[in-house]
Amino acid sequence: MIDQILNLNFNQISLFNYYLVPELITGFFIKILPNNKIFSVGLNFLNIVLLFFSFNLFFKSLDIKNKNLTLLSFFIIFFSYIGNWIWCFWKLADIYFLFIFSLVFYFTSLGIKKKKISNLIIAFFFVVISLITKPQGIAIIPFYFLSIFLFFLKKEINFYKFIIITFSIYFFIFPLLSYFFIKLNLFSNITYFMSEGYISGTIFYKFDEFLVEFSLSRNELNNIFYYYYLFLKKIIYQLTFVRETYSFKHNLFLVFYVLAIYFLIIFNFTYLSKKENLFLKMTLLICFLSILLHSSLNTADEPNRHQLFNLTPFYILSAISCLKTMTLIRGFLINFFLKN
Structural domain contains residue 290: yes
Q: Averaged over 47-57, what is the pLDDT?
A: 93
Q: What is the pTM of this model?
A: 0.91
How many CB atoms are located within 10 Å of the residue 195 CB? 18
- Say if CB 104 and CB 134 are below 8 A apart: no
Burial state string for 14-31 with b = 16 or more CB within 10 A and e = fewer than 16: eeeebebbbbbbbeebee
Q: Can you tell me the distance from the alpha carbon of 154 to that of 144, in angstroms, rounded to the nearest whole number? A: 14
How many domains are there within the chain? 1
Structural domain contains residue 17: no
Helix extents (H) in the chain = 2-6, 20-32, 36-60, 67-79, 93-114, 117-131, 137-148, 159-184, 188-195, 207-214, 220-239, 248-267, 269-275, 277-296, 308-339
Q: Can you tell me the distance from the alpha carbon of 240 to that of 256, in angstroms, rounded to the nearest whole number? A: 11
Domain range enclosing 238: 33-339
Mean pLDDT of the chain: 89
Structural domain contains residue 24: no
- Confidence grade of residue 305 (pLDDT, cut at 50, 70, 90): confident
pLDDT (tens digit per residue) in 97-110: 999 999 999 999 99
Q: Can you tell me the distance from the alpha carbon of 139 to that of 127, in angstroms, rounded to the nearest whole number? A: 10
Q: Can you tell me the distance from the alpha carbon of 322 to that of 307, in angstroms, rounded to the nearest whole number? A: 22
What is residue 35's predicted lDDT score, i.e. its pLDDT? 85
What is residue 8's predicted lDDT score, i.e. its pLDDT? 46
CA angle in degrees (0–180, nearest 5) for 162-166-168: 120
Structural domain contains residue 328: yes
Structural domain contains residue 22: no
How many CB atoms are located within 10 Å of the residue 323 CB? 18
At 229, is the secondary structure helix, strand, or coil? helix
pLDDT (tens digit per residue) in 153-179: 887 889 999 999 999 999 999 999 999
Structural domain contains residue 8: no
Structural domain contains residue 225: yes
Q: Can you tell me the distance from the alpha carbon of 169 to that of 179, in angstroms, rounded to the nearest whole number? A: 16
